[in-house]
Amino acid sequence: MIQPTTPKQRKQLDHDLAILVKFVDIYCRRKHTTRQRQPFEFGLCDIKEIYGRELRLCPSCKKLLCHAITKRTHCPMDPKPACKHCPEHCYHPKYRQQIRKVMAYSGRHLVLTGRLDYLLHLLF
């Protein structure tokens, strides 16, 4: 894992990862109710510390979140632009499409339930 060099970068990274986790969590819990979901664990970061609780995902959402976390953790841009404004689209096209669907769905859900705080620093 590339360690952020300043506390500010560290905070920004944790913040971004928490949003990613939150959005994939909402999407998977609401859309993949018939799939078997397993506790999500990932070597690059401590999900429980970032998210504050255990996360369970289906296999395809797990793969997507792993990809997203890896990309965000290794982002070489400093300061990091919002992904949609970035000149380098680093996501694999398959995951890029998937994460956009997740962001759109969960973003709408958060708006409808009045939890706008998550949308202030949208990644996508």
Choose between 13 and 19: whose C-beta lies nearer to Zn ion. Answer: 19
What H or E segment, with its residue span, contains residue 42?
none
**Contact region with Zn ion (CB under 5 A), list: 43-51, 57-65, 96-104, 114-122:** 57-65
User: At closest approach, how far in Å is the CB of 100 from Zn ion?
Assistant: 15
- Name the residue with tokens 């499409």: 97
Query: What is the rounded distance in angstroms from the CA atom of residue 107 to the CA atom of residue 109?
Result: 5
Site string for Zn ion, 15-34 (x = CB under 5 A): -------------x---x--
Choose between 13 and 95: whose C-beta lies nearer to Zn ion. Answer: 95
User: Which one of 13, 58, 64, 65 is in contact with Zn ion (CB under 5 A)?
Assistant: 58
Choose between 75 and 124: whose C-beta lies nearer to Zn ion. Answer: 124
Query: What is the rounded distance in angstroms from the CA atom of residue 4 to the CA atom of residue 56?
Result: 27
Query: What is the rounded distance in angstroms from the CA atom of residue 53 to the CA atom of residue 51?
Result: 6
**Contact region with Zn ion (CB under 5 A), list: 14-22, 54-62, 64-72, 90-98:** 54-62
Query: What is the rounded distance in angstroms from the CA atom of residue 94 to the CA atom of residue 54?
Result: 27
Helix (H, G, I), strand (E, B) or coil at 56: strand
Q: Which residues make up the interface to Zn ion (CB under 5 A)?
A: 28, 32, 58, 61
